[in-house]
Structure 1
């Protein structure tokens, strides 16, 4: 009986991989994922905690924090958002973790 060799599989091209990643990311976004742009318009390019102002060059360092922790709760009035710089955002989340730890 002749042995069958497995057929070699073609690896996807970098373009095909990029398209797959883009598709997967899009499927993981909340329906109203444009909340960052909305929050920046509503609350301005300033950190709500430390007051640091941002320019276009460093705007990527300004994040949107969901006050209730639910990234799918995005009311159009922005009441669940506050713009925080990455440092204040990290501090906010570390405080929540510490509080949960201390409360057992």
Structure 2
């Protein structure tokens, strides 16, 4: 029995750059604005690491991060109850603790 061949769909006509730009503008307009929880957390909790107490100024503020206490980056309550400001070193330590604990306990779920 010979294989059957389906005819190919016609190639779409190329859009002009202006049409493509308009499509992109419409898509961006329909998107939800990103939640800037970092700025809100810095205003609520101050420019200080909640773990080591290091204080930050404008020159090194990029080293202060927002840690989601429950691990859910989509849960950003307006009162900031799911956030704590941690320096990059304490934030790294916070996340590596669970990895180390899983390893030491022989956690089978990670395999």
Q: What's the TM-score, normalizing by structure 1?
A: 0.68
Q: CA deviation at 1:102?
A: 2.7
Aligned length: 77
State the match for 2:17 in structure 1. Answer: none
Greater helix proportion: 1
User: Which protein has greater RCO, CA pairs closer than 8 Å, 6+ apart?
Assistant: 1
**In the TM superposition, what is the alpha-carbon distance from 1:96 to its structure 2 partner?**
1.3
Moved over 4 A (4+): none
Counterpart for residue 55 of structure 1? 57
Matched position secondary structure for 1:65: strand
> Structure 1, unaligned stretches of length 5 or more?
1-22
Say what the alpha-carbon RMSD is for the aligned residues. 1.9
User: CA separation of 1:100/1:31 partners in 2, compared to 1, >3 Å: closer, same or farther?
Assistant: farther
- CA deviation map 1:19-51 (0-9, x unaligned): xxxx8xxx7xx8652100000000000000000
Asked which structure has the greater CA Rg, the reply is 2
Tell me the TM-score normalised to structure 2 length.
0.64
